[in-house]
Structures are given as structure tokens and as C-alpha cells.
Structure 1
Amino acid sequence: MIHKQVVNHRQIAWLVGSLLMTGMMISFLRSVVQVAKMDAWFSQIVPACYALLVAYVLAELVRAYPGKNLFEIMFIICGKWIGGVVNGLLLFYIWVILALDIKGAADFLHISLLPQTPVEIILLVFVLVLMYYGKTSLEVAARVNEIYFPAYFIMYLLLYFLLMNEYSIERLEPILSTSLERIAVSNLLPLGVYGDVLLFGAFLHASSESRLLFAAMKHGIMIVCFTTTIALLILLGVMGYVIAGRLNFPIYILVQQIHLTDFLDRVEMILFSLWFPAFSMKAIFAYMAFLVGVGSFGGQLHYNTFNAPSGCFLVVTSLLAFSKVSDIDQFISYSFPLLVLLFQVPLLLFLLIAARRKKREAGQGLIPKGTKLHRFYRLMVWGGVISLAGCILTILIGALLRDKSPASGMATAIAYVCFLVIGLLTSYGEMQALNHGKQRLGRPKQQGKFRQ
């Protein structure tokens, strides 16, 4: 069944937020803390830059191959056989993401909330939810995500105020005292999680404006970078790196420390009620991408044919792939970044060259040059570039300073957070400027053919 769908820029940004941020909150942050200790909150800037590179390549593919998704583009560029092999590798990569998410969520629910329920039952019920959404389209998941992700984001920003009586800045000092090598390694570990943004390649056919797609994905990536940094700051300030590095579910234990009154001491249940739907949207998004990839091999216009077989396949293989929680944590922290570097980087380089070599007509830009809106757009773009460069330079300068006094460390920390805030605000301004330019040109909303 072919039908048109509308996924606007805000929905894309928030889908990126759910896709990248919710998965890191289970057990991944423990490995980052183990490596970088009290400076683990500097670990998000390099993977965010990598995710921006992936978003840029996807935007170039939208411009070069409008109305085509990543699987179709691979068949066009590489032909039937080589393209089939590459698409098979892409499906394997998506399966790895799904297996990690499904098994990780099932183990988390079994250990923290449902200890008497078998993991197999929890996993089966979760996959049934994925199969239910597999009958719909990305538009449905995006609209559901609009309900939960903003509340989830605001809840994380409120964690500092809710834990203010437990917070101690001394647990972070001396700031940037960890070696630069450890900070660099901690920036490599999240590459596997941030590489999940490649899943948007399965839905490129639902996008028509490449620049607006890139700006929306950029804003979502900056939301994840900023929020995860704040979460790490709170985690380390409340528990310290020794305790945080030993916990299986550090964020869940962190929220358990909130005690507002004598009768409201289970605030983690409120956060969980917001986290689980947002995390489910991530798994649903990956499952839909898997269905799109499977359907591309058979040329099926109705992807629901593969919904039931794919769900049964995921139930069995997820149970066999990762038997323990520690296996999932070790794979996400150390094997997954290596998989991303060995598979995604050559693929992205190849796709970028192919997109640049394809001849295409030069279309009218979303924002006419010389206008006030264009000047604002350029200011936002350069503000984002300067903020990212400023974050990296702040880490380098702060780590190389011989004087590790509390004053210098606090100054570098404040500068780093300020650059992050500037990057978040400028990415929003860039996205809004392009959206206003699109509306002034009178172009229709972002539409495309969604084959599912």
C-alpha cells in the first residue's frame, strides 16, 4: 500500500532525540564513567560531530536521489547483486540495533520492575507492540513521539533541581584532571549509539527538502548531546565516578535518590512512565526500518507481508544473541563503536562520492540570498560551527593547562556548557529559519511516498 505521509521538521528532530538518547540511559553511561571518571561528561562532543556527518550524507542523498530510500539508492548505484550484498549488511546492522534494544529493555524490566516475570514473556510482549506499529507508518510513530519526548526531555532538565540537596560539585573536581587519552577514548565509546542516526536512511523517500532535513536532524543531535552531558553531570555530582561506574542501571538508581516528601519517594516510576514510551518509539523506528529493508529485496509495495515473520525472527534471535546484561553493556561500549567505524565510515564515504557525482538540476533555495532571513540563517549556521569548535578547543586547552586549580577547571567547565547551549540554540534557529523560508516560498509540507 502506497500512501503519502507528512513528517515535519519538529517531528524529525524529536525522533532523532528518542532514537539516540533513550538507549543510552539503560546501562551505557557506566562504561563512559569507568573510562573518563569524573570527566566523563566531556564524552559527547565527538560522537555528536560524527552523527552530524551522517546526517549531512543522508541530506546529500535526498538531494541527489529524491523520492528514494537508502536501500533503493544502493540498488541504483551498485546494481542488483552488489547492492543486494550491501543492503544485506545494512539489514544485519539494523538487526544488531534491534536485538540490543529489545533484549536490553527486557532485562531492565525483568531486573527492576518485574522480577517474577520470565524475560521471554517480557520480550515477546514488547515485540508484539513493535508488530502492531509495523502495520502503520512512520507518521503514526512520529505523532506518538511528540507526546512523550518533550516531557521526557523536561524531566531530565529538572533532575538537577530535584537532586539539589544530594548534589556536590566537589565530586567533579579537579575538572579535566583525567588524561586527554582517556577523554578521547570516552568520546569514541558513544560512536556506536550515535551511529543509529543512519536508520533515517530507510525513510529518505519521505523527505523532499535536504537542507531542512539536515537542520532538523542537527537540532535533534544537539538535544541529545546537551541532555546526555547534563545527565552525566548530575550523575557524577550525586554519586561520584566510583559508585556510578559500578551500577548496572546508573540513571535508574540516580532517580531513586529523589525524595520530595515522605509520601512521594518513588519518583523513578514517573520517569519510567515517560522513558519507556520514548524508548519504544526508538525500537519501533528501527523495526520499521528493518521492514523497509526486507521489503526492498522483493519489490513489495505492501511491507506488512513481512511484519509477522520479522517479529518472530526478532524474538528468537534476540534471546540467543545476548544472554546476559553484561554482554549487552560490553557490546554497546566496545564492540559496537568498532562495528560503526568499520561499516558506516566506508559506506558513508562511498555514498557521499556517489551523491556528489550524480548530476542534478540546481533548484531554488529555501531562503533567497540577501534577505534578512538569509542573514539570520547564516548567523545560526556559523554559530553552530563555532560552538562545536569551541567545545573541542575548551577540552584541549583545559586538559593541557598545567595549572589544575579549581578556578581554572571551573572556568573551562562553564565555557564548555555555554558552547553547548549556544550550539543547541543555534541549531534550533537554523531549523526554524529554513522552515520559515519554506513557508514563504509556498512549498507544500514535507511529503513522500511511504511504501509500507
Structure 2
Amino acid sequence: MKDRMTIGSFQLTLLICSFLAISSQASLPMALTGAAKQDAWLSYFVPIVYGCGVGMFFYKLVQKYPGQNMYEIANALCGKFVGGVLNALFILYFIVDLSAQTRLFTDFFSSSILLRTPPELIIMIITLLIIYYSTGTMEHLVRTNVVFIMCYTIVLMFLPVILMNEIDLRKLMPVLSSGIVPPLKSSIISVASFGDILAIGAFLHHVKGPREIYMAMKLGVVVSSFLLTLWNFCLVSVVSPVFVSRLIFTGWILVQQIHVTDFLDRVDLLVFSLFMPLILIKHSVLFFAILTGLASYTKKRRIFGNLMVGLLVMMFSTVAFDDTDEVILFNNYGMIPLTLMIHIVFFGCLGVGIAISKWTGRTSTIPDAKTRLYSGPARAMLIGCGASIAFGAYFGSKLGWYGIISAGLFIMFLLLCVYFTLLQYRKTIINKG
């Protein structure tokens, strides 16, 4: 039976924001500040480029194979055997990613909120919730996500305002005084944290067309990078880079610094009541991606095996790591080579498959008269972000004012990049829809 479930482009944008921005707030700042010190908040320029590249690749895939997801496209491009091996690699990657993140946030909850609850019990509860969500559909999940991510985004946008009395800009100095290598190291770590965006490929058949997929992914990646830049800026300027690089869950400390008035000093309860459902939504998306991959072997849209896959994830989350340090190291650094390998296989095999199919004439691109993408201004602002970092890295060690100027330019170009991307989304999707 034909799958008629649809996901709107704006819903997909907000889902990507939850998928990328929320889970990177727990332990990743520790790795970023360890690599780039006070320049850790400049780490999200390269992830924008990477995310837009993945979005363009999905755009090309959907143009050639409309109405199919990543698993089906792999089978169509690479054949039943090679495509089946690729799909198995993707499924295994998502299982490892989901298990590691489940254990990471289990340790976060058990060390900061549920202090007396055994971690095994928290893992079981999280897994049961994920299994329960999987009995529904992705359409229900993205609708739920819209409510929580909109509220959480508003809180993040006002974070510098409500923390104004706690922010000390001197903790950001000197800007880019160590050259380009530290920000480059932290950018590699942040790109690896964006690697599980491949899971969005499991739901390409739910979105209307290629231009909607590309614009939703581009806007979601840009907004996610902006929110994470804002988050890390507040962390470094409030807590200081030294403490952020040594403390595991620094975000909990940052949120506890919010004091709106003397009578409203427990804002952290409100923030984490939004944070935890969004984490569960991301875990559920990864779980749906795993089940959709398994269903690709039966050539049916219907997913299956919820309970067995959930028990497998619960087992891996429980026995794969001995303590919190191992979980942090694996999520921050261990995922880098694994993500690199999966991406080389993904882009390499599907890219070769596209080239062969185009050469042999087996497939042809579906024309779309509405795919003008209006990308000039947003692309120019993105180039400006990169030029600002390069300028500050080269001249910042010679004169401190150059680093401050480059940081100001980076903020300006990033804000303009968000603005022009929103404008591009409006022109391409809303006005042309």
C-alpha cells in the first residue's frame, strides 16, 4: 500500500533543529573548549557547510528517485547485494549512535536530576518510551516536536538577555590568538556531532519534493548552528573556558545561573522540562530510521520489530560502557572515525552509483521548474563567516583588536546568514509553493 504520510518542509526544519542542536548541548562543549579554549563558540562554521552539502546531495538523490528513501535509493543505485550491505552499515551506525546517546543522557539524568535512580532503570524507561513512540508515525512525532522546539528556541534566543548580569566578555579574550588550528580541531569535532543527520535520509519519501528537502535541511542546519554558537558563547562567557573544558555537563550549571527575579530562580526546571522531551524525540527519530532500514529488506513501508530492536538498544546501552568517562569520550571523540567511515562509504558508493546510472542512461533527473534556490546572499554571508575566522586567526596573534573585530564580523555575518536563509526559504517554498 502506498505510504501517504507527509512531513511539511517547516516541520522537517524544526525536526533537524531538534536533531542537531539539542543533543550537542550536553557534553560536546567540554570537547570543543578542550580543543579551542575561549574560541570554542566559533566552531560551527564548518558544520554549516557540511550540512548544506548533505542537503544538496539528498536533493540530487530525490530528483533522480522521487518518492523513495535513502535505503531504497541505495538498493536502486548499487544493486540488491551492495545496497543491502550499505543499508546494514547505516542501520548498525544508527544503533551504535542511539545506544551511545541513550547512555550519555542516562548518565546526565542520574548525575544531575535523578540522583537516587539506578542508571539501568533510566535506560529501561527511555527505551520503553522510544518503543511506545515508534508505535505511532513520524507525522505524529514531528507535530509534537514543533511545540517543544519552538518554546525551547525562544528560551535559547533570550539566553544572552536573561544571563546579561552573568556574562563576562573578558573570558572570551584573546580571540583567535592561537591561530587557525584550535578552531579547526573543534570544527572537526562539531562536524562529527552533525554526522547523524544522515538519519533524515530515511524519511525523504515523506517530504513533498526535492526543493522542500534541500531548503528544509539548509534552514535547519543554519538555525541549529546559530543556536549552538549562542549556547557555547554563553557557556564560555559565563562559566569560563577552563571550567567548561573540565566539567562534563556544564549546561546544567549554565541554566542554574538564570535568575529572572528573586522569586523566580528555578528557571532550570522549566528549561529541562522542554529539553528532555526533545532528547526523546531525537532518540525516537533514530529508532524510526533503524526500523525503516530493517523494513527495506522486506520491500514494505511498514516498519516492524519495535520491541526486539528496543531491547537490543537497551542491552548495548547498558553493557557497552563501564562509566560516564567512557561514554563522554566515545560520544565526543570515538564517533569521529566511525562517522568519517560511514560518510566516505555513503557519499562514495552513492556518488559512484549516480555517475554509472547517468552514464548508462538508466535514470534521468526529474525536471522541476520551481527549483531556483536564491542562494547568493546566504552563500556570501557564509563565505564572510569563514573569512572573518581566517582574518582573526592570521592577525589575532599580532594585535588583539584584530581578533575582536573578526569576532564581531563573524557574529554579524552569521546573523545575516540566518536572515538570508530564512528569506531564501520564504521565496523558494512559501511564495513559489
| TM-score (structure 1 length as normaliser) | 0.91
Q: Residue 392 in 1 paired to residue 392 in 2?
A: no
Q: 1:334 is matched with which residue?
A: 333
Identity of aligned residues (%): 30
Q: 1:314 is matched with which residue?
A: 313
- Structure-to-structure mapping, 1:354-393, within 5 angstroms: 354-355=353-354, 357=358, 359-360=363-364, 362-366=366-370, 378=374, 381-393=375-387
Pair 353,212 (structure 1): closer, same or farther in 2 beyond 3 Å: farther
Q: 2:98 is matched with which residue?
A: 98
Q: Deviations over 1:359-399 (max 9, x none)?
A: 325524116xxxxxx6xx53xx1111111111111111111
CA contact (8 A) 2:41 2:232 kept: yes
In the aligned structure 2, how far is the partner of 1:162 from the partner of 1:181?
A: 33
Q: 1:67 is matched with which residue?
A: 67
SS at match of 1:166: coil
Q: Deviations over 1:325-362 (max 9, x none)?
A: 22122112222122122221342133234335253255
Pair 403,364 (structure 1): closer, same or farther in 2 beyond 3 Å: closer
Offset at residue 64 of structure 1 (A)? 0.7
Question: Given residue 344 of structure 2, which amino acid in structure 1 is its aligned partner?
Answer: V
SS at match of 1:298: coil
CA contact (8 A) 1:60 1:355 kept: no
Offset at residue 286 of structure 1 (A)? 0.6
Q: Residue 249 in 1 paired to residue 253 in 2?
A: no
Pair 9,251 (structure 1): closer, same or farther in 2 beyond 3 Å: same
SS at match of 2:5: strand
Offset at residue 301 of structure 1 (A)? 4.0
Q: 2:48 is matched with which residue?
A: 48
| TM-score (structure 2 length as normaliser) | 0.95
Question: Given residue 354 of structure 1, which amino acid in structure 2 is its aligned partner?
Answer: G
SS at match of 1:164: coil
Offset at residue 55 of structure 1 (A)? 1.4
Question: Given residue 369 of structure 2, which amino acid in structure 1 is its aligned partner?
Answer: G
Offset at residue 403 of structure 1 (A)? 6.1
- Structure-to-structure mapping, 1:7-18, within 5 angstroms: 7-18=7-18
In the aligned structure 2, how far is the partner of 1:3 from the partner of 1:402?
A: 55
Which runs of 5 or more structure 1 residues have no equivalent in the other structure? 368-373, 440-452
CA contact (8 A) 2:8 2:208 kept: no
Pair 400,135 (structure 1): closer, same or farther in 2 beyond 3 Å: same
Q: Residue 260 in 1 paired to residue 254 in 2?
A: no
Q: Residue 409 in 1 paired to residue 403 in 2?
A: yes
CA contact (8 A) 1:174 1:404 kept: no
In the aligned structure 2, how far is the partner of 1:328 from the partner of 1:190?
A: 17
Question: Given residue 236 of structure 1, which amino acid in structure 2 is its aligned partner?
Answer: V
Q: Residue 196 in 1 paired to residue 200 in 2?
A: no
SS at match of 1:189: helix
- Structure-to-structure mapping, 1:147-296, within 5 angstroms: 147-296=147-296
Pair 90,237 (structure 1): closer, same or farther in 2 beyond 3 Å: same
CA contact (8 A) 2:25 2:231 kept: no
- How many residue pairs end up in the alignment? 428
In the aligned structure 1, how far is the partner of 2:405 from the partner of 2:35?
A: 23
CA contact (8 A) 1:99 1:318 kept: yes
- Structure-to-structure mapping, 1:19-30, within 5 angstroms: 19-30=19-30
Offset at residue 104 of structure 1 (A)? 1.2
Which range moves more in the overlay, 320-329 or 96-105?
Answer: 320-329
CA contact (8 A) 2:8 2:207 kept: no
CA contact (8 A) 2:43 2:187 kept: yes
In the aligned structure 1, how far is the partner of 2:223 from the partner of 2:408?
A: 18
In the aligned structure 2, how far is the partner of 1:108 from the partner of 1:132?
A: 22
In the aligned structure 2, how far is the partner of 1:385 from the partner of 1:179?
A: 24
Q: 1:370 is matched with which residue?
A: none
Offset at residue 437 of structure 1 (A)? 4.5
CA contact (8 A) 1:61 1:352 kept: no
In the aligned structure 2, how far is the partner of 1:230 from the partner of 1:249?
A: 17
Question: Given residue 169 of structure 2, which amino acid in structure 1 is its aligned partner?
Answer: I
Question: Given residue 430 of structure 1, which amino acid in structure 2 is its aligned partner?
Answer: Q
CA contact (8 A) 1:366 1:437 kept: no
Q: Residue 135 in 1 paired to residue 135 in 2?
A: yes
Offset at residue 265 of structure 1 (A)? 2.0
Q: Residue 435 in 1 paired to residue 432 in 2?
A: no
In the aligned structure 2, how far is the partner of 1:359 from the partner of 1:132?
A: 39
In the aligned structure 1, how far is the partner of 2:160 from the partner of 2:37?
A: 20
Question: Given residue 231 of structure 1, which amino acid in structure 2 is its aligned partner?
Answer: W
CA contact (8 A) 2:177 2:396 kept: no
CA contact (8 A) 1:102 1:318 kept: yes
SS at match of 1:5: coil
In the aligned structure 2, how far is the partner of 1:403 from the partner of 1:124?
A: 51
Offset at residue 78 of structure 1 (A)? 2.2
Offset at residue 154 of structure 1 (A)? 1.2
CA contact (8 A) 1:255 1:268 kept: yes
CA contact (8 A) 1:39 1:172 kept: yes
In the aligned structure 2, how far is the partner of 1:10 from the partner of 1:409?
A: 37
Pair 253,402 (structure 1): closer, same or farther in 2 beyond 3 Å: closer
Say which of 411, 414, 421 aligns to 1:420: 414
CA contact (8 A) 2:130 2:284 kept: yes
